[in-house]
Amino acid sequence: MEKLIITAAICGAEVTKEQNPNVPYTVEEIVREAKSAVDAGAAIVHLHVREDDGTPTQSHKRFQECTDAIRKACPNVILIPSTGGAVGMSPDERLDSTNTNPIPEMATLDCGTCNFGDDIFDNTMPTMRAFGKRMIEKGIKPEYECFEMGHLDTILTMARKGEVPGNPMQFNFVLGVPGCTPATVDNLCWLVNKIPTGSTWTATGIGRHAFTLAAPAIVMGGNVRVGFEDNLYLERGVLAKSNGELVDKVVRMAKLLGRQVATSDEAREILSLKH
């Protein structure tokens, strides 16, 4: 079994300091949280950025500022900027995160429209084609974000048509978002059994499902994402003090389950990235 790749989604676009005072907004706070995650064992940092007051932004200037600062603190980490942004942002606004220098190794590509709590996360077919074209042109490897069962078939069909990059593909199964596919082992197994041979995959459990989905993913040979974007608690009623605490819990789970944790360079090899 290959080593476990841990991704830390350190701040997201929606969570706030009112919910957990350790959620990062400023560049300095984002660097602090990225370093805490990497030091604990994360090979990848999935990155949203905020203005200093916490407002989510997709500005490539803000992404540039944050990625440059993170790389000074964590020179070898894989950064995956979000192209999801926040609900209500335009496709062009969301894609601005890929306009940094150097071009990102990877970026997220959301695989369909879905309910997001009381909101609608809008990812039309034309939007996904535009995102796929950008990533093909720039040589960016997508991480395909699937929130619903049907999202997987949609993106596989697009890959067969050459509308998005194809094999080897990396999927992130984000389960437990209110209004989307529940975070059950049965649903995770169904998704994993449908991906092409040679693909890699990550499981992200939202909220209270963060670690109950991590455990089967570790055993099944997949990878795990945790972080403040997805879950603010270390355990029931106990707020996490840092992203590093959440990553460390996954590292300890992996050790108990007999799985070694990948470094960033090992993750690049597993994910077929050029560096």
| Spatial separation of the C-alpha atoms in residues 272 and 168, rounded to whole Å | 7
- Tell me: pLDDT of 62 over 70: yes
- Tell me: pLDDT of 274 over 80: no
pLDDT at position 183 is 98
pLDDT digits (tens, 9 = 90+) for 161-190: 999 999 999 999 999 999 999 999 999 999
> What number is the average pLDDT over the span 218-230?
98
Instruction: List the domain boundaries for the chain.
Output: 6-270
pLDDT at position 275 is 56
Q: What is the average pLDDT value for the chain, to the nearest integer?
A: 97
Residue 246's SS3 state is: helix
Its CATH architecture, for the domain 6-270, is Alpha-Beta Barrel (3.20)
Percent of the chain predicted with pLDDT > 90: 98
In the numeric block, which tokens belong to residue 66?
């944050």
pLDDT at position 230 is 98
Locate tokens 């069962």: which residue?
149
The model's pTM:
0.98
pLDDT digits (tens, 9 = 90+) for 109-141: 999 999 998 999 999 999 999 999 999 999 999
In the numeric block, which tokens belong to residue 175?
């389960």
Asked whether the bond before 165 is cis by omega within 30 degrees of 0, the reply is no
